[in-house]
Amino acid sequence: MLGRGAFGCVYQVHKLEYGVIAAKVINEENFNINEWKIGFQLAQGVQNPFVLKYYSAQMFGIHTILLMEYANMKSLDNLIESKQDLPLSIIRPIMRQLFEGLRLMHEKGLIHRDIKGQNILLHNPLGTGLVQLKIADFGLVKVQQQAVQTMTTTVAGTFPFMAPEALLEKYQSNDNADYKVDIWSAGILLFQLTAHQFPFKDPSLKEILTFMTNKKLQRPKSITDNDLWNLITLLLAFDPKDRLSATEALNHKFFTGKHALKEITKEVKDLALIYQQAQQQGVQNVTPYDTNTLFIVPLTEVRRILLVAQNLQKGDEFRNCCIYAGIANSLQTIFEKRDLKYITKPFIVAFFQLTSQYNQIINYTLLTISNLLISGLNTTPSTSYHPHFQIISACDGINKLFSIFMKSDDKEIKDCSAICIGRLYRAQQIGDQSIKIAIISHLKSIINDPDVWTREASRDTLSELSQNISDMRLIVRQLRIQLVGSEIEQKKIIQKQENECEVLSIILRKRNEDELFKIVINSGIVEALLAILKDRELSLITSLFVSTYFQLTKSTDKTVVFLYSKKNPYPSLIRLLNHNDRYVLDYTVKSINNILIAGANTTPFSSPHPHFEVLQKNGDIDILFSFFKSNNNKKTKDSAAICIGEIFRNQEIKDQQVKRAIISHLKLLLKDPDEWTRGAARSALGSLVQNQGNTNEILNDDYLPSIQNDLKIKLEGSEQHKLEILSLQEKQTRALSEMLKNNQTDEFRRKVINAGIYDSLLLIILNREIELITEPYLDALFSLTISSDKIQQILLKKNPYPSLIRLFNHNDINVIQCAIKSIFNLLICGLNTTLSSTQHPHFEVMSTCGGINKLISLFNKTKDKDTKDRVAICVGRLYRAKEDNNELKKGIIPHIKSLINDQNQYISEQSRDSLSELFYNLSDMRLIARQFRIQLSGSEEQIETIVEKQEIECEVLSIILQKRKGDQIREIIINSGIVEALLAILKDRDFKLITTYFIQVIYQLSLSSNDLKLLLYSKKNPYPSLIRLLTHTDNDFIQTILITIYNLLIAGSNKMPISSPHPHFEAFDEDRGIEKLYSIFKRTDLDKEFKDNVAIIIAQVFKAKEIPNNKLMRTKIISHLKTLIDDPDDWTKQTSRIKLENLDQNSVNHEEIEKDGFKLSELA
């Protein structure tokens, strides 16, 4: 038990999916559904590591059990009560964490209203050197209808921490309390941390009211830092309008100024570096806060403070003075140098009192060493050597520890010395075989010790030692021993093997790392275990053997697939289904399920399960079904049904009896009280529903009507009854979502709609109290919108927009995202069913219900990228072809432009489509031309920013030109001044700063009609700019230039007689364009297509004009064109003939063409 209060008890528990957590057991009448909803909401979506997460709530009779995060290091109140002068380097990250937690809460529209030291828990994530603050106790949290906007709130909180507007409201009926009440409370905490007192004389209500009425905040002498005092005054501003927000507080000079950065300690920098390296190595649970020195609170410092606080509680203030006076260091010197016979008990006791309390001299010393070793472990990665190894080894400490271990008959001393040696050898081989065998053997013997510390320490130590394959092969050797001899001898062998399995299970549980799993798999352990499971008499196979294999199947999909590839486990596991032990059966079926899931995840979801053939061939599916039918244990029966469902992914279950039994059972599990079982059943049905035969069976009875009936239940009655209704409806909608995502046929969606489920979902979303509309409802509705245009048109007839728009005020970002995604899909349907040149057909409907303004408002306030992106595109889509779009030009359109190269390919494509559909006039294009005219000046970074902005505008123009057909938009672009501005860039800018984006616009314009190309040429001769770029080093770039030049040349001569020279000849040759083209033609590093294009362009320029034979240009160009007459590419063949006919109009060219008997007139 962790604690007991007025409303219930809190226990420390372990749950597989969460690890060590806290379980709060509350009587039904004391259950606060608000606390549960808020805690659960904060565990969803954008993760906030600085609030306590709630995982689940379940009823058991008259009790409710809340599962939540476990914080393992007291509270901020303990730091405050220590009355120690904390360094600013510690205060800063503590307060940064608190403000960051509040910022993320306020963004979700949540006001805590009871921020105080006791509600700010401290937590040290195991194996780290960090301390995290956890904002807890959400019983008084208020939900704002608009996140981070003022609203009235009721009086709540603890008097000394309540803001004036909250406290005085009770006495003076003020009506101004909003999220800034939390900021005031945080300011009080900061005042306490730095001044060791409240800002009023005492925490009585009278003194507090006097302080708030007088509005005078006095600066204590202990606060000498001006930035700190300035921050406190802004946090404790009596008028909430003058008070900072959490975001503003985080940006205050106290946190961001030079002094703040200078005072970051080496320890903090080292910790940040460790987690940066861990992140680079792919460690998943590293957060951005762990790598940011501004948020790191070092464990060592907090431990020191809490230790002093603990000692002060005991009245031993003198002991803490000893630590700071250097007495501990003096004692350490005595231990190193003085003759052992003069080191008596008082010296040892004095030293050890700094960390713990025991009675025996040697045991004191060992436990002190153990505590110091743990500190070393916590500050370094688990895969690295212990940081104290060299120091202790250098003074022969390891041999002395082993000597004590061997000589002592005292169990505590023996245990502790073994643990110390084991910890020292973390991640490295114990070289001395006698030490290795003795220590590891002893550690194994105490893994089930009755003493909690000994038991956990031995398990941790064994997991730290398990770093190399040679140690694992010792386990393999033991597992391969055959059962021979008498019954007693066989039992001894089994006992030893079970011990090895238990040790291995502990190691796998404590160090869930892929590398370790691979070491185990490569060692031969898997084969040895499977051989035992396959060949040994069933009565001699205990749950320890199966649970060890099960632990191996709990790794990542990649590792489990590797496990499967080493040896097919199914024959061994299926055999165990005949076992009598329920634990063996449970681990067996769970192992099969894990292997099936991992295998399924490595292949497309629309394909059959990759293990199906193996299981079908050996008759394993029939055995599994027989086990399902005959088994009376609910847990294993459920797991067997789930396994069969996964095996038949995208394949019909041919046996009607099996199909009916399995699908019927899985449907029942959708309402199971166990969360894992519900989720697994949804997944299994999702696998089955991909096949139409299975789908018909799933929908064969009253399944869809039952969902509809459950959704129609009104949310009324007691809080507990409401919670049960919510839970039931959420289970049904989650299952429906899974099936809709896996079966995307129109037929299935029609059945769902015809059952009335869509109508019920819309009614719930439109009418229910908004906080009680959770993600599963929206996910089901969103899944329906992933459909064909025909189905979406049916959905649109019900006018879903008002319901969906209402959810923009929700405080759960996941709900908002589902609403936006649904709108997003429905809007695309409107686009697909109307002409692109017309206004969006849903514009008026959305405008009438205020949807467009609410979308823009949501865009402006949300910090979530995915939401912001989709909202911007939705608004852009709604304004398709609409002339009056000025309100989008400041925020929406620039944001859509920023998405054209987004990592999310779908968002990128949608943003491009949205930009191409917007209405653009001449003034819009002139603004872009102005952007192109900005000169490159300033620092290198400033120049890079200018170029990037210009590149984005170029890409936007290219997208518009690619996607919009017709000459209207092209004429606007040419007349806007964009062409002149771009040609100036191409003509004058350094090649390094001219990217393909700039030339792409000119290239796209060169694909226009002839009249527009001539307009483009007449506005400003483009050839000097284009010809300059023919010396560029990028061949792809040159190829685009060549095609652009060719398109312009073709337009210039199209209406000219064949006997007339090309009208652009003089302009083209003015900048040595022909010479540069011929230089490219002569290059030997270019492919045939490149050479062909250059020859064709030169021929186009010399239409009806003699090609001079300087450097054999005439001979080589005409000769190359003649070789293209029989080219396999039709365009090349036809074009080369036309160009030869153009050249043939000149007599000199004609003579060159007819050399070697070549007759142009005779060509077919």
* Residues contributing to the annotated binding site for ATP: 24
How far apart are alpha carbons 306 and 909 in whole angstroms? 55
Phi, psi of 55 (to 5 degrees): -100, -45
How far apart are alpha carbons 645 and 659 in whole angstroms? 9
How far apart are alpha carbons 691 and 688 in whole angstroms? 6
Written as one string, the DSSP assignment of 249-277 is HHTSHHHHSHHHHHT--HHHHHHHHHHHH
How far apart are alpha carbons 231 and 544 in whole angstroms? 59
The tokens for 590 are 């769970």
Phi, psi of 145 (to 5 degrees): -70, -30
b/e code 598-635 from CB counts within 10 Å (16+ = b): bbbeeeeeeebbebbeebeeeebbebbbebbeebeeee
Written as one string, the DSSP assignment of 742-772 is H---HHHHHHHHHTTHHHHHHHHHHHS-GGG
How far apart are alpha carbons 272 and 264 in whole angstroms? 11
The tokens for 13 are 């528990």
Q: What is the three-class DSSP state of 205?
A: helix
Which residues are registered as beta bridge partners of 22? 12, 68
Q: Which of 472, 467, 367 is closest to 426 using CA atoms? A: 467
The tokens for 755 are 């059952």
Beta-strand (E) ranges in 719-832? none
b/e code 239-261 from CB counts within 10 Å (16+ = b): ebeebbbbeebbebebbeeeebe
Sign of the alpha-carbon dihedral angle for 262, 267, 273, 276: negative
The tokens for 561 are 């697939």
User: DSSP character for 19?
Assistant: E
Q: Which of 910, 923, 921 is closest to 881 using CA atoms? A: 921
Residue 1135 CA from chain centroid, whole number: 54
Number of other CB atoms surrounding residue 937 within 10 Å: 8
In the block, which residue shows the tokens 């800002």? 199
Instruction: Specify burial of residue 276 (Cβ count, 10 A radius: 0-12, 13-18, 19+).
Output: middle
Known binding-site residue numbers: 24
Residue 546 CA from chain centroid, whole number: 34
Sign of the alpha-carbon dihedral angle for 394, 399, 402, 407: negative
CB-based contact 393:367 (threshold 8 Å): no
